[in-house]
Chains A and B, each alone.
Chain A
């Protein structure tokens, strides 16, 4: 019986947990809230694994309230959704373990907000309805507004204000584009809209193209593509480590939405609206990589360096998407999994480094020795190798896939030099940061702030993901190949949703 409702469980579990956590829990509320949170995140992880196994053979469609597909809202779990849900769950558990050692006490209701955030992200990955996607975007944004301020302080407040204003404007644009698309196609179900858009001609197709590009702008804002990325470095570098680590998946929500909408609704088969925005993606993605690399090189703060690393990964993924063919999408997804885990680990690690260094905090300057100097140094070394993409870790493997995906001469001529140059700049910046913080230390007694081994464990778990991706690169690549095949042939998704939608009773 529960297996029938598997698709909605990744949304329900965090929601119920968050509601439970909001109850008054007596003398030691945080203790109970932590237990609920950890149990919920473990359950979500379990459910996500089951979901990935369940969608291996067929796409799962869950009609909410048993309303038939184009009229009611459906949740759709295909391979891409299941992969993203699993990735979120894998990221959320270590981050929560890390947060349970003190950082959740910096402000009220961290635990509940964390679960709401996970709920919004899971919902955005699972929904098959564009307006529902907007609603889940709002859920994850509202909790992210509060989480971004977690801990308080002037810098955080200012960054949050920028973030909130930008995203509110983005939400308004999202609604306008939904209105345009609904006005022409008369539907909000993504599968149904894909069918309707493919048949449009003339003026109507032009209006839908405008609506689609508006949608592209909104998703690019969430993903932090070139003209809309300026909020990201400030927001990510000012907030606490756990929140930044959880936000490693937030830009990926934007990328997921771009991948989903622009392969299905505006994909190759979309008639006059086919391949909308792909030429923009190519150039904007390339320039995002370049500017991100320059930002990495120019930052004097290690948190800012990691924030710019996020930007490079966004640029890399969207450039790869614009290549369009199935191998490119497969490479993109491999890189997405890798970069989410690694940036999550890096944000947590940098947070520990900043705390242990004491007064110099996260600035890349000569400072006192840290209490757990060697351990942190080793973790940083592994994480840096993985994120830069030097052999042997997963960064190298995923970059190799991406470079392989460039087929024509022009693509190779642009993509290879820019990605390799960005890699080179990352090597310089990270080795400089590492040597400053770990080797050029002041003489004398080290600081005495230490972290419990669970927090190191959380970082190590995420880094283990990178090692796992390297060791099991072949099965992982075949999984992403399967996802990419499903994405490049959206007819199967469309027919499953429209013909079988509502068949869950």
Chain B
């Protein structure tokens, strides 16, 4: 199970890094979303992967760690809000600047700015 889990997290992270390094805002937003999934999965595994156990010490031989689940919940909430925000921002930028290129150097020259 650990191997499968590690491969999943690794693949998600690798794909998200590839997407974040693209030059257009849409793939970047997708990449950030994917990265937050990978991070959530990773955080979840930091309490060690345990199946079918309760989070109470002494109730059974093996216990699961409740703290990473709380952390993941917090991370999901924050990540969700930030994804929504970055999508809105990307749409605004696309609308106002007329291009979804993140580093459009021509733009600065056209506008005559520094």
Taking Cβ atoms with an 8 Å cutoff, the residues of A that contact B are: 131, 135, 138, 142, 145, 154-155, 157-158, 160-162, 164-165, 168-169, 171-172, 175-176, 178-180, 182-183, 188, 300-301, 304
| CB pair A158 B93 closer than 8 Å | yes
| CB pair A162 B39 closer than 8 Å | no
Inter-chain CA distance A237–B46, complex, in Å, is 41
Q: When A131-B71, A161-B90, A182-B68 are in contact, do A172 and B97 touch as well, CB less than 8 Å? A: no
Chain A residue with minimal CB distance to B104? A158
Closest chain-A Cβ to B31's Cβ sits at a distance in Å of: 9
| CB pair A168 B113 closer than 8 Å | no
Inter-chain CA distance A301–B111, complex, in Å, is 16
Which residues of chain B are near A155, meaning CB under 8 Å? 113
| CB pair A154 B32 closer than 8 Å | no
Q: B50 on the interface (CB 8 Å rule)?
A: no
Which residues of chain A are near B90, meaning CB under 8 Å? 161
Q: When A138-B78, A179-B43, A301-B114 are in contact, do A164 and B89 touch as well, CB less than 8 Å? A: yes
Q: What 18 additional pairs, Cβ within 8 angstroms, besides A165-B20, A182-B68, A183-B46?
A: A131-B74, A135-B78, A138-B82, A142-B82, A142-B85, A145-B89, A154-B96, A157-B89, A157-B96, A165-B28, A165-B102, A168-B32, A169-B32, A171-B78, A172-B35, A175-B42, A182-B67, A300-B114
Inter-chain CA distance A256–B25, complex, in Å, is 32
Task: Tell me the residues in window 62-104 of chain B with beta carbons closer than 8 Å to chain A beta carbons.
Answer: 67-68, 71, 74-75, 78, 81-82, 85-86, 89-90, 92-93, 96-97, 102
Chain A residue with minimal CB distance to B78? A138
Inter-chain CA distance A175–B107, complex, in Å, is 35
Which residues of chain B are near A178, meaning CB under 8 Å? 43, 71
| CB pair B39 A175 closer than 8 Å | yes
Chain A residue with minimal CB distance to B25? A161
Interface of B is mostly: helix
Inter-chain CA distance A168–B87, complex, in Å, is 12
Interface of A is mostly: helix
Chain A residue with minimal CB distance to B28? A165
Which residues of chain A are near B92, meaning CB under 8 Å? 157
Chain B residue with minimal CB distance to A168? B32
Chain B residue with minimal CB distance to A186? B65
Taking Cβ atoms with an 8 Å cutoff, the residues of B that contact A are: 20, 25, 28, 32, 35-36, 38-39, 42-43, 45-48, 67-68, 71, 74-75, 78, 81-82, 85-86, 89-90, 92-93, 96-97, 102, 107, 111, 113-114
Closest chain-A Cβ to B104's Cβ sits at a distance in Å of: 8
Of the candidates B68, B71, B81, B93, the one whose C-beta lies within 8 Å of that of A161 is: B93
Chain A residue with minimal CB distance to B83? A168
Inter-chain CA distance A365–B9, complex, in Å, is 53
Closest chain-A Cβ to B14's Cβ sits at a distance in Å of: 14
| CB pair A162 B102 closer than 8 Å | yes
Inter-chain CA distance A397–B86, complex, in Å, is 43
Inter-chain CA distance A135–B77, complex, in Å, is 11
Which residues of chain A are near B25, meaning CB under 8 Å? 161
Which residues of chain A are near B42, meaning CB under 8 Å? 175-176, 179
| CB pair A165 B46 closer than 8 Å | no
Chain A residue with minimal CB distance to B68? A182
| CB pair A145 B93 closer than 8 Å | no
Chain B residue with minimal CB distance to A234? B114
Which residues of chain B are near A162, meaning CB under 8 Å? 102
| CB pair B46 A168 closer than 8 Å | no
| CB pair A169 B20 closer than 8 Å | yes
Closest chain-A Cβ to B55's Cβ sits at a distance in Å of: 13
| CB pair A145 B32 closer than 8 Å | no
Inter-chain CA distance A138–B42, complex, in Å, is 19
Closest chain-B Cβ to A489's Cβ sits at a distance in Å of: 30
| CB pair A164 B35 closer than 8 Å | no
